Amino acid sequence: MKTKNIVLGILSLSSLMIGCTKLNQEFYSQVTPETFFQSEKDILAALNRPFTHARWYLGEDRWRLQEYTADNFAITTKGRHWYNGGENERYHYHRWTQDEGWIWGSWRGTLMGVALALDAKTDLEKLDYTRFALTEEDKQAHLNQLNTLAAFFYLRGLDYFGGMPIFTTLEGESLPRNTDAELFAHIESILQGAIPLLPKKEAGAAEQGELKAAAAVTMLARLYFNAEAYIGKPMFQECMQLCQAIVDQQHGTYALDQNWYGPHGFSNHQSPEIIWSIPSEFNKLQYDWFYADFYHYNSRQFFDQDMGANNGAHLTPSRRPDSTLYTGAFRLGSPFEKFAASDLRKRPYRYLGNGTYEGMFINGPHRTRTGGAINGGEEYRDQPLIFRDQVGRFSEVGPGKRYPTIADLPSTMANGEENTGVRLVKVPIPTLAENTLRWGADNPAIRLAEVYYMLAECKWRTGDVAGAAALINAVRQRNFAGGNDPDPVTVANLDKYRFLDEWSIEFLGEGRRRTDLIRWDAFVTEAWWDHQPSNSKHLHRFPVPTEAISGNNNLEQNPGY
């Protein structure tokens, strides 16, 4: 196998992400398909290697670019912690530059994902599968999983950056960027070619990370769903047709899970709603990157676990320091209060044992499983921790202190404390007593609820408001005891903001918020907590990172940077 010069030429990979990507030229220059592939196990190892990169890619910097630039999450400065040179504020206020680490990591990670998929495909397509008691159909399924995976990375790259260098082999270097339209057409072509050659899910089959036909169809639907933002051409009708076909089970047998926790729990690989998931297992490929960022240093006592955390991220506040709601100040954000009081998900997270749990938030008094108070370690050292759906330096209020009364408290990115913000527990965490379950929940990369919501939005945009409401309510009803939804979607209340609220509620923390805001022309035109609109549409695209351009002077910067 020839050395992969394109990887160095495009990505300037003098160093790689530890634990996710290690393309070693010496290794690859010594191995050939004829000497390496001795069994079906070797084939599957090569096939699965790029999927380990996808596991990493779905979290960390990519998630941060989607959520911390939008209205639902923030990393406030908490006293001496988390200012980070102003990085978190730059993302929140939409003042990022081409020198940001998250942006470079996402550019590099995107093209690395494409390269890894093509590398595996190059090896597998040379093999005679009959040597391994496999069929030509097996081979085409494998090759088109890799094609689909490459399309997935490119689709995310299009979303973040617009046009990127298109390459279909691992030869060449310093390629220029293709246009947005060219990359759009490339993704479309790959997925259209892969769909008929991928297997369909059979009823009752568990999801183990394979890309099946419905996953490729959903990716194509995503491409069309956001086409107006990508290439200036609305394609909601095309998206609607694809989504309807999935709902009608033309591409495999899927169904909405009857329980809200089904797509997220320890056995979510068995959920009929999962279209594509990234497997996770304790001490293997763990879906755990978020834990350190989301939880307090002492939350190990709450979970009865032994893991440390750094207390960074939280939901943006729904309430002012004086406890009044931000209702009327802005329409977006306030994610915790967007959940109805009777929503089963709004209950405090509590692990019940034997793989069962309830709720998905940490709010209010922080307590151990036996009811004991958990104390703070910073502003509230040796005092009980009480998480607030607010941002403010409450510890500095009182006679002789910085702020005489709560009415004097500012609420900005600079004013957090260790107990600031509601914390999300979307991925369940067991106790140490049942630690074999830890990180047993797979990462649900695509689930049927998304298809329902895309179909609903397409129907709404094409005039079928009643049909749109029915689809959303089909998902909502499982979130309430007995299906008694106190505020169902109706023809009368389904507008832009209700749609954005529904996307926020159902997919909170799933790494898509920025894309939804852009599609609704709300990302740079709307206000949310401590964020004023810039009305600068060039911010719909992140800049090409300085490190990418310095390694490839054929790359052109995005307009506005």
**Residue extents of the structural domains in the chain:** 1-61+105-199+538-561
Report the C-alpha gap between 332 and 500 in whole angstroms.
8
Report the C-alpha gap between 92 and 75 in whole angstroms.
9
Please report where in the chains the tokens 């093999």 appear, as a residue.
127
- pTM of structure: 0.94
Report the C-alpha gap between 105 and 57 in whole angstroms.
10
pLDDT of res. 172: 77
Report the C-alpha gap between 377 and 384 in whole angstroms.
10
Name the pairing type of β-strands 314-315 and 73-74: antiparallel
CB atoms < 10 A from the CB of 38, how many? Answer: 11
Q: Which of 324, 295, 323 lies closest to 311, judged by CA?
A: 295
The Cα angle at residue 367 between residues 366 and 373, in degrees rounded to 5: 95
CB atoms < 10 A from the CB of 506, how many? Answer: 19
Per-residue tens of pLDDT for the chain, all 561 residues:
333 444 434 444 333 332 333 333 333 445 566 667 999 999 999 999 999 999 999 999 999 999 999 999 999 999 999 999 999 999 999 999 999 999 999 999 999 999 999 999 999 999 999 999 999 999 999 999 999 999 999 999 999 999 999 999 998 789 999 999 999 999 999 999 999 999 999 999 999 999 999 999 999 999 999 999 999 999 999 999 999 999 999 999 999 999 999 999 999 999 999 999 999 999 888 999 999 999 999 999 999 999 999 999 999 999 999 999 999 899 999 999 999 999 999 999 999 999 999 999 999 999 999 999 999 999 999 999 999 999 999 999 999 999 999 999 999 999 999 999 999 999 999 999 999 999 999 999 999 999 999 999 999 999 999 999 999 999 999 999 999 999 999 999 999 999 999 999 999 999 999 999 999 999 999 999 999 999 999 999 999 999 999 999 999 999 999
Q: Which of 454, 502, 455 lies closest to 479, judged by CA?
A: 502
Q: Residue 179 has what DSSP assignment?
A: P
Helices 448-461 and 465-476: crossing angle in degrees, nearest 10, is 160
The Cα angle at residue 236 between residues 235 and 239, in degrees rounded to 5: 95
pLDDT of res. 147: 98
Range 1-61+105-199+538-561: architecture per CATH: Alpha Horseshoe (1.25)
pLDDT of res. 261: 98
pLDDT of res. 154: 98
Report the C-alpha gap between 149 and 508 in whole angstroms.
24
- Phi, psi of 555, rounded to the nearest 5 degrees: -85, 130
pLDDT of res. 36: 76
pLDDT of res. 34: 62
- Supply the Cα-derived Rg of the chain in whole angstroms: 24
pLDDT of res. 31: 55
Report the C-alpha gap between 316 and 303 in whole angstroms.
23
Report the C-alpha gap between 380 and 377 in whole angstroms.
6
pLDDT of res. 542: 98
- Report the phi/psi class of residue 535: left, alpha or beta, with left for phi > 0 and alpha for psi in -120 to 50: left
Residues 474/448, Cβ–Cβ less than 8 Å: no
- Phi, psi of 430, rounded to the nearest 5 degrees: -85, 175
Report the C-alpha gap between 74 and 333 in whole angstroms.
11
